[in-house]
A and B are shown apart, each in its own frame.
Chain A
Amino acid sequence: MNGEKKMAIIATQGTLDWAYPPLILATTAAALDYQVSMFYTFYGLQVLRKNLDLRLSPMGNPAMPMPVSLPVLMQALPGMEAMATAIMRKKLTKRGVASVRTLRDMALESEVRIIACQMTVDLFAFRREDLIDGIVFAGATAFMEAAAKANITLYT
C-alpha cells in the first residue's frame, strides 16, 4: 500500500497556532500510508527552524480566546504577545496536544518529504544551517512535480 496515495501541502504560516494544521494533516496522512510532500514557504519557514520559537498574537484575531477581553488598542501593548503565547502553550499541554517540535519530528520519521522554499529562505536571509536537517531546498517547480501526482493538495 505504501506510496500509492499521495498528498501535497503548502504551508505558509509561522505562528504557534497555524503551525499545527499542516503538521497534523501531514503526520496523519503518513499514518494512513500516504506519501506526503510539504512545501514550506514565507512565514512557514519559521516552523523549520532548529531553534523553534513560535508565537502568536491576539492582535487582529478576535477568535483568540483570552482570559479577559481586551480592547484592540491594549492588545498592542508590550507583553501581550508573550501572554497570548503562554496561554496557548498552557492550553495545548493541558489537553495533551503534541508540541510542534514533536509533530515535526514525527513527520520526518514517517518520511514526509519537506521542501523549504529557496526563494523565501534567501528573502528572509535564513542560512541552511538555521533550518532542520533532512529537508530539501527547492522551488515551486519541485513542489508542482509532487502536487501533480497528488490525490490531495492543500494550501495552509
Chain B
Amino acid sequence: MPDQTLDTKGLSCPLPILHAKRILQKMPPGQILAVEATDPGSAKDFESFCTQTGNSLLSASESSGVFFYTIRKV
C-alpha cells in the first residue's frame, strides 16, 4: 500500500515530475508514493527521474491510457 498518492492525469510535462518531487521531498525515506498520469512521456521520465535522484521505481504499468507508478523515497 502506498503511503501517499498523486493524481497528475491531464497534466503535461514537466508537471507530473514537479508535483511528484514536491511530495517526495516532504515524505520520510522508505515511504512509497503512487502516481497516476496520462502524459505518455511520463513513462520514460519517471524512470529517468528515479535514476537521477536515487529513488526507486518499484513499478510502472499502463491501463487504457493511464500510467501508474510507485516510487520508494530514498
Contact = CB atoms under 8 A, between A and B. Distances in A.
Interface residues of A, number: 13
Majority SS at the chain A contact face: loop
Contacts of A138: none
A32 B52 contact: yes
Interface stretch (B5-13, B28-36, B58-66): B5-13
Interface string B38-56: 0100000000010011100
B12 A31 contact: no
Contacts, number: 37
B15 A96 contact: yes
A97 B53 CA distance: 24
A59 interface: no
B14 A31 contact: yes
17 contacts: A1-B53, A24-B14, A27-B18, A28-B17, A31-B14, A31-B17, A31-B18, A31-B21, A31-B49, A31-B53, A32-B49, A95-B12, A96-B11, A96-B39, A98-B15, A106-B18, A110-B18
Interface of B: 10-15, 17-18, 20-21, 39, 49, 52-54
